[in-house]
A and B are shown apart, each in its own frame.
Chain A
């Protein structure tokens, strides 16, 4: 049988159906499809795919096990390197990571590594097997992890497996960070996937203290000097929303993407009034930005009943930073892309509500030194797009609350924590950091990779202490 150059397609909900519900869009492989896809893997002698995985999963080995129908063996192999495979299989940008390096990608489509990872993880999760709890030594050392997002969860999982007593401090009432408040239900189911993965971590022996804002409730120094933690990992993410600083941004109907998505995902505002948190979505919505967060916000607005949703982005199609798959999903659902347009003002009515977003047309100049074509405004080309809701999804910065209350821990001029890239060690002894708080907004898997790296470095540090 000739080798197929295409991936086995992922079954998904039809666009016209899914645009009106919050159910997961992609439905996952069944066993037969997974085995057939696994058979596409050539088992290269020197597997390139592993280079692209930030946590170094033994990809050919787990795929070989799927091919042999040893599904338990496959997930066991993945879990040697990854703490949250059901999540990563869904949200990793595999096209820029493992699948980018697959030799098949040169001729056709890469092996669907992400889909296979998801298959193995989902199959195991559906079996609800009890988690083996860790038996701690009496003199096990205590480590504090600040932030229950991907970096913190990965760091905590690895440290617990190494025998440390780990407590995660989380500011919100639910753990998961961006997995809970940011990425929508239709891409990453909360009850079925996120909560279960976190519950498994707790069953293993990781303690999670919710409603705990470090910097207010305890400082890092207090955790180390008074609460008995011998090392601290800071994984507080990039949770500070940016606004454009244009007139009219404080009008009613203007949201940051963080607020819009938090109301919907964490507070379940899409089930208002059964759930108490309201969300305001008009008939016409403009989402400003071109990243994954913008796609999530636009597709969420559609599902909340908006009749027309625009993506307003200052560069062109080629430059959209969002995953290609998300852009295609959004287009299939009917999102209207207004590229090479930049907002200059949010226009309000006399009652203080949004009625339009004023944009200026842009054109791309020659590539600069970095090879990026910078957009320039076309003079006199302003026009109004009539909308009643605006969501700003132009990026996030680091929340300063932990850094500003931790003397001796250096930050750079953007407010990100300065670390040794090899170990995640900050300038303060015993304190490590990783994920978006160090790199600025990046991906779930890079944050997990940083969490794992820091866990290894913390282990090393505490052994030598």
Chain B
């Protein structure tokens, strides 16, 4: 059992949980993830470790309640526990000193997994420029945290309610235009966003790393449910990734596979809401 020490709603439907998990906290590195299972009847879902504190023995998860499983997790209160938490899983990000200028792009809730990478890049002595994109101002998360680990932080909103109006690629374009010498780009967020960043950097030959989030079951390489097409090869995101060369990833195939259970997920969500007593009257 893994105790929830803190819980906070960062923006509507987006939660931050600090969890007591000393073994995992001791070993986690930026770019890695965990798989959690709330209770005996729940499915296993992967979540990126958004932060960790080796001394306190805690890890931080940030997630959006988008379906039955994440809603179940969101209903857990401070002091309650999660049944299973396994990790760290996946390969760590390749953080090194002397990379140069690293642009860390987080789209929506993708800011959470980008944060530990940006922090590690900064600690390794690189120049970090962060781009945070959100649909609108009120759903922007972790702005203070990102500013604290970045040399420069640019915020974009689709509707122009804060920062630059437009997408993260708009901001990236402006960096390129002003002649910023970029050595590596990290892009984490919705598939459409990662795809458009990869499409923008490909002609410029800017090394671009993306972190993929396919459906997973075990997270240890035993089932291949998370397989993705990278160049001419099939890779298992849980053990070969989750980070890959964005210029080689088949994003369309990824989106198709992510949708494999869409109708069943809707059914599960309906069932879940019935069980907790929501939506009965509607």
Q: Known: A267-B44, A272-B268. Contact between A258 and B223, CB under 8 A?
A: yes
**Inter-chain contact B256/A252, CB cutoff 8 Å:** yes
Contact with B along A262-277 (1 / 0, CB 8 A): 1100011000111111
Which of B72, B89, B253, B267 is within 8 Å of A273, CB to CB? B267
Total number of A residues with any Cβ neighbor in B under 8 Å: 39
**Inter-chain contact A240/B221, CB cutoff 8 Å:** yes
**Which residue of chain A has its CB nearest to the CB of B28?**
A216
A239 to B27, CA, bound (A): 24
**Which residue of chain A has its CB nearest to the CB of B90?**
A216
Segment at the interface with A among B49-57, B179-187, B195-203, B258-266: B258-266
Q: Which of A221-244 contact B (CB under 8 A)?
A: 239-241, 243
Cβ-based interface call for A24 (8 A): no
Cβ-based interface call for A401 (8 A): yes
Q: Which residues of A contact B265 (CB under 8 A)?
A: 278
**Which residue of chain B has its CB nearest to the CB of A274?**
B41
Q: Known: A252-B260, A276-B43. Contact between A399 and B220, CB under 8 A?
A: yes
Cβ-based interface call for B94 (8 A): no
Total number of B residues with any Cβ neighbor in A under 8 Å: 43
Cβ-based interface call for A423 (8 A): no
Q: Known: A243-B234, A250-B229. Contact between A262 and B27, CB under 8 A?
A: no
Which of A213, A253, A256, A268 is within 8 Å of B223, CB to CB? A256
A352 to B258, CA, bound (A): 11
Q: Known: A272-B268, A276-B69. Contact between A211 and B41, CB under 8 A?
A: no
A253 to B257, CA, bound (A): 9
Q: Known: A249-B234, A277-B43, A278-B265. Contact between A171 and B223, CB under 8 A?
A: no
Cβ-based interface call for A280 (8 A): yes
**Inter-chain contact A273/B271, CB cutoff 8 Å:** yes
Q: Which residue of B217, B222, B261 has the most chain A CB atoms within 10 A of its CB atom?
A: B222
**A292 to nearest B CB, angstroms?**
17
A240 to B256, CA, bound (A): 24
**Inter-chain contact B86/A258, CB cutoff 8 Å:** no
**Inter-chain contact B222/A351, CB cutoff 8 Å:** no
Q: Which residues of A contact B223 (CB under 8 A)?
A: 241, 256, 258-259, 262
**A192 to nearest B CB, angstroms?**
17
Q: Which residues of A contact B86 (CB under 8 A)?
A: 171-173, 211-213
Q: Known: A172-B218, A173-B84, A210-B84. Contact between A278 and B261, CB under 8 A?
A: yes
Q: Which of A319-352 contact B (CB under 8 A)?
A: 351-352
A346 to B63, CA, bound (A): 35
**Which residue of chain B has its CB nearest to the CB of A216?**
B88
**A397 to nearest B CB, angstroms?**
10
A213 to B229, CA, bound (A): 25
**A266 to nearest B CB, angstroms?**
8
A274 to B271, CA, bound (A): 8
Q: Which residue of A250, A263, A276, A401 has the most chain B CB atoms within 10 A of its CB atom?
A: A276
Q: Which residues of A contact B24 (CB under 8 A)?
A: 217
Q: Which of B14-45 contact A (CB under 8 A)?
A: 23-24, 27, 37, 41-44
A369 to B86, CA, bound (A): 48
Cβ-based interface call for B175 (8 A): no
Q: Known: A250-B229, A275-B41. Contact between A217 and B69, CB under 8 A?
A: no
Q: Which of B208-228 contact A (CB under 8 A)?
A: 217-218, 220-225, 227-228
Q: Which residues of B contact A352 (CB under 8 A)?
A: 253, 256-257
Q: Which residues of B contact A243 (CB under 8 A)?
A: 224, 234
**Inter-chain contact B87/A216, CB cutoff 8 Å:** yes
Cβ-based interface call for B248 (8 A): no
Main SS of the interface on chain A? Answer: loop
Q: Which residue of B27, B41, B218 has the most chain A CB atoms within 10 A of its CB atom?
A: B218
**Inter-chain contact A252/B259, CB cutoff 8 Å:** yes
Cβ-based interface call for B47 (8 A): no
**Inter-chain contact A262/B234, CB cutoff 8 Å:** no
- Count of A-B contacts judged by CB separation below 8 Å: 114
Q: Known: A173-B86, A277-B44. Contact between A401 and B267, CB under 8 A?
A: no
Q: Which residues of A contact B69 (CB under 8 A)?
A: 276
Q: Which of B229-282 contact A (CB under 8 A)?
A: 229, 234, 239, 253, 256-257, 259-261, 264-265, 267-268, 271-272
Q: Which residues of B contact A173 (CB under 8 A)?
A: 37, 44, 83-84, 86
**Which residue of chain A has its CB nearest to the CB of B268?**
A273
Q: Which residues of A contact B84 (CB under 8 A)?
A: 173, 210-211
Cβ-based interface call for B172 (8 A): no
**Inter-chain contact B222/A262, CB cutoff 8 Å:** yes
A399 to B145, CA, bound (A): 38
**Which residue of chain B has its CB nearest to the CB of A170?**
B86
A252 to B88, CA, bound (A): 28
**Which residue of chain A has its CB nearest to the CB of B271?**
A273
A243 to B229, CA, bound (A): 14
Q: Which residues of B contact A401 (CB under 8 A)?
A: 220-221, 239
A300 to B261, CA, bound (A): 19
**Inter-chain contact A259/B217, CB cutoff 8 Å:** yes
**Inter-chain contact A213/B220, CB cutoff 8 Å:** yes
**Inter-chain contact A258/B88, CB cutoff 8 Å:** no
**Which residue of chain B has its CB nearest to the CB of A256?**
B224
**B253 to nearest A CB, angstroms?**
6
Q: Known: A211-B84, A252-B260, A276-B69. Contact between A399 and B222, CB under 8 A?
A: yes
**Which residue of chain A has its CB nearest to the CB of B233?**
A245
A250 to B271, CA, bound (A): 30
Q: Which of A190-230 contact B (CB under 8 A)?
A: 210-213, 216-218
Q: Which residues of A contact B222 (CB under 8 A)?
A: 239-241, 258, 262, 399
A276 to B217, CA, bound (A): 12
Q: Which residues of A contact B89 (CB under 8 A)?
A: 213, 216
Q: Which residues of A contact B228 (CB under 8 A)?
A: 250
**A249 to nearest B CB, angstroms?**
7
**Inter-chain contact A351/B256, CB cutoff 8 Å:** yes
Q: Which residues of B contact A216 (CB under 8 A)?
A: 27, 87-89
Q: Which residues of A contact B87 (CB under 8 A)?
A: 213, 216-217
A218 to B26, CA, bound (A): 10
Cβ-based interface call for B68 (8 A): yes
**B58 to nearest A CB, angstroms?**
16
Q: Which residues of A contact B37 (CB under 8 A)?
A: 173
Cβ-based interface call for B206 (8 A): no
Closest 4 pairs (CB-CB, A-B): A259-B223, A352-B256, A276-B43, A278-B264
5 other A-B residue contacts (CB within 8 Å) besides A252-B260, A276-B68 = A212-B23, A216-B87, A252-B256, A280-B260, A280-B264
Q: List 16 A-B contacts (CB under 8 A).
A: A171-B220, A173-B84, A173-B86, A213-B86, A213-B89, A216-B88, A241-B224, A250-B227, A250-B229, A256-B225, A258-B224, A259-B217, A262-B217, A273-B271, A280-B260, A401-B239
